[in-house]
Amino acid sequence: MESLNIFIRSIFIDNMVFAFFFGMCSYIAVSKSVKTALGLGAAVTFVMTMTVPLNYLLYEYVLKDGALAWAGLPDVSLDFLTFIVFIATIAAFVQLVEMAVEKFSPTLYSQLGIFLPLIAVNCAIMGGSLFMQQQVDGGQLNSLWHSVVYGLGSGLGWWLAIVMMAAIREKTTYSHIPPALKGPGIAFIITGLMGIAFMIFSGIKL
């Protein structure tokens, strides 16, 4: 029940895009067609589902204050290294995914172009790990399974947002938008309105 709650909350209420603006750069740049959006969303979800639990393990057993007790060093706290360890895990993992996509789906690879390596610097993925750390400190996330669920839910939330956005932007090609608003301008305003719509989910608890 607890994990279902985390899952629903991370998709709808604490949605990466609408509540925290994570991953906005690629969200705005890649949401021009639904097909590319689906590809990038899948890649982000996959990377997030894997990196959040990996970083959870690293944080819980290496970095946290007193985490090295199992190695006989209960007084050591390495938490100042958190950022660098998290980003290294993510960058290494993205490199792996990039090689896999290049091998198995060259079409997707050429479509995603520069954005595949840039998943490493997609704030949604780093943000997922940092929020995981914050929730571990706050006591809301307390097992490996919860961190898997949290990573998956956050990734799906981001995926949902970018696909919805791409679908709307495909339609806006046919509408008369003031020339100065075309492109990023209207994308921001649409995202804002979608965010207001998503606010109806706040307060839901299972």
Binding site for other proteins (CB under 8 A): 18-25, 28-29, 80-84, 86-88, 91, 117-118, 120-123, 125-127, 130-131, 133-134, 178-189, 191-196, 199
Question: Closest distance between other proteins and the C-beta of residue 201, in Å?
Answer: 13
Question: Closest distance between other proteins and the C-beta of residue 86, in Å?
Answer: 8
Question: Closest distance between other proteins and the C-beta of residue 126, in Å?
Answer: 4
The total number of residues shown for the chain amounts to 206
Indicate the residue type of 177: I
Nearer to other proteins, 38 or 121 (CB): 121
Read off φ and ψ for residue 71, nearest 5 degrees.
Answer: -100, 10
**10 with 150: CB under 8 angstroms?**
yes
DSSP result, 101-112:
HHHH-HHHHHHH
d(CA 9, CA 7): 5
Nearer to other proteins, 45 or 89 (CB): 89
Question: Closest distance between other proteins and the C-beta of residue 83, in Å?
Answer: 5
Q: Helices marked H in 9-119 — which ranges?
A: 16-20, 24-30, 34-58, 82-104, 106-112
Nearer to other proteins, 134 or 143 (CB): 134
Question: Closest distance between other proteins and the C-beta of residue 181, in Å?
Answer: 5
d(CA 47, CA 53): 11
CA–CA distance from 68 to each of 52, 85, 178 (Å)? 20, 15, 59
Nearer to other proteins, 49 or 55 (CB): 55
Nearer to other proteins, 70 or 192 (CB): 192
